[in-house]
Homo-oligomer: A and B are copies of this chain.
Amino acid sequence: MSPRAGLTTERLVRAGAELSDEVGFEQVTVSALARQFDVKVASLYSHVKSSQDLRTRIALLSLEEMADRLATALAGRAGKDALAAFANVYRDYAREHPGRYTAARLTLDPETAAASAGPRHAQMTRAILRGYDLTEPDQTHAVRLLGSVFHGYISLETAGGFSHSAPDTRETWVWIVDRLDALLRTWPPSAPSDPAPAPEPTPRPTE
């Protein structure tokens, strides 16, 4: 009766990524995808192993896309310039592609993660730090700090954590990048001035 729909893993993953941006990553389902292609659900299982497999592939695609943008943005930049460019790629991608961004945060099993674009991200973060005078282990600490700040910020912002209160979030973003730059420049050669006390566990503000 009907000719063939022309499904491929590639097309499914791409459609899944778009769907996730439209309706949220959580709502990306094999069924929804089948509806979009006007095809029976079971048909998709020749192209993706499982629902989980589909989601993982979307995550990998998103990581690649971000890494590509990163590479472009970093080309020819250094120091604070590079830091800001880096930060903005991250934030803009999350705004343009909230579903994909969420997908990229998915926890991958070690082998998959190692084969993903994840390491490229880390590598580029290190590249930025070349503009600052850091030696190990400070450099690694700094890589982690940058990852934490950017991800944390975006996560809180998209979750509506920073309400609609003044000052606006763009201002804060610029401020943070500025402060991070300062933090990375002024370097007290690594010597935890004061062994931080370990009193009790720790919390998380909504603002």
Residues of A at under 8 Å CB distance from B? 63, 66-67, 69-70, 72-73, 77, 80-81, 84-96, 101, 104-105, 107, 110, 113, 116, 118-119, 121-122, 124-125, 137-138, 140-141, 143-156, 159-162, 165-167, 169, 171-172, 174-179, 182-183, 186, 188, 190, 192-207
Cα A196 to Cα B171 in complex, Å, equals: 11
Work out how many copies of this chain go into the complex: 2
Cα A143 to Cα B152 in complex, Å, equals: 12
Contacts of A178 in B (CB 8 A): 192-194, 196
Cα A207 to Cα B66 in complex, Å, equals: 15
Whether A156 and B166, one on each chain, are in contact in the complex, defined by CB atoms closer than 8 angstroms, is no
Cα A183 to Cα B91 in complex, Å, equals: 22
Whether A145 and B179, one on each chain, are in contact in the complex, defined by CB atoms closer than 8 angstroms, is yes
Whether B207 and A121, one on each chain, are in contact in the complex, defined by CB atoms closer than 8 angstroms, is yes
Whether B183 and A182, one on each chain, are in contact in the complex, defined by CB atoms closer than 8 angstroms, is yes
Chain B residue with the shortest CB-CB distance to A95:
B201
Given A66-B203, A147-B156, 4 extra CB contacts under 8 A = A93-B201, A105-B204, A124-B205, A145-B149
Whether B150 and A202, one on each chain, are in contact in the complex, defined by CB atoms closer than 8 angstroms, is yes
